[in-house]
């Protein structure tokens, strides 16, 4: 029931959002990775939970064939993004590559500083959240593997 309330609340807020914001999970899929990341970071925790609940409900309502097609589409999009990044990297000059490396080093240093500034409790919570995410992903892989018919 709480999830339903959150979905209704997020849907109501989505109507009030500026035109550049996603109205549904489908709109999120159409965004570029940068736009999607920015949009999701702008959501409250409750809105993120409602969005995840909506996406989970849509996924669970799919048939196995629809899921397979969706996975294929995700893999194709992921590969296209990787190819585009590889092409961009290969077309960069050595100076541009070095600037990108320096930017990445600075980002890692910023993340390290953020981590070092967390309290022990915040670090423990972050570790627990990552463990929970890894355990969930591992369970999904095992569940997926168990669903496959035996190989002959």
Query: Tens digits of per-residue pLDDT, 96-128?
Result: 999 999 999 999 999 999 999 999 999 999 999
pLDDT, residue 102, reads: 97
Q: What is the mean pLDDT of the chain?
A: 83
As a whole number of angstroms, the distance between CA 32 and CA 143 comes to 30
| 100 Cβ contact partners less than 8 Å away, ≥ 6 residues apart | 89, 92
- State both tokens at 54: 């909506």
Q: Are 11 and 29 in contact (CB under 8 A)?
A: no
Percent of the chain with pLDDT strictly greater than 90: 52
Closest CA to 11 of 21, 1, 20, 61: 21
Closest CA to 17 of 37, 49, 47: 47
As a whole number of angstroms, the distance between CA 134 and CA 125 comes to 14
Q: Judge whether residue 15 has pLDDT over 70.
A: no
By residue count, the chain amounts to: 152
In this prediction, residues 32-57 reach a mean pLDDT of 88
- State both tokens at 122: 């915040």
pTM of the model: 0.51
As a whole number of angstroms, the distance between CA 136 and CA 138 comes to 5
Q: Judge whether residue 61 has pLDDT over 60.
A: yes
Closest CA to 29 of 43, 39, 19, 41: 39
Closest CA to 4 of 38, 40, 54: 54
């Amino acid at each position: 029931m709480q999830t339903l309330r959150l979905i209704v609340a997020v849907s109501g807020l989505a109507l009030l959002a500026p035109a550049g914001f996603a109205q549904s999970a489908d709109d999120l899929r159409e965004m570029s990775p940068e736009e999607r990341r920015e949009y999701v970071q702008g959501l409250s925790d409750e809105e993120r939970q409602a969005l995840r609940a909506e996406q989970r409900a849509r996924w669970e309502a799919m048939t196995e064939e629809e899921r397979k097609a969706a996975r294929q589409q995700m893999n194709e999009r992921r590969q296209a993004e990787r190819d585009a990044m590889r092409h961009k990297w290969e077309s960069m000059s050595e100076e541009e590559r070095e600037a990108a490396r320096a930017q990445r080093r600075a980002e890692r240093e910023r993340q390290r500083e953020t981590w070092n500034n967390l309290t022990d409790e915040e670090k423990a919570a972050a570790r627990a959240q990552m463990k929970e995410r890894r355990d969930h992903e591992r369970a999904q892989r095992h569940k997926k593997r168990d669903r496959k018919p035996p190989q002959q």
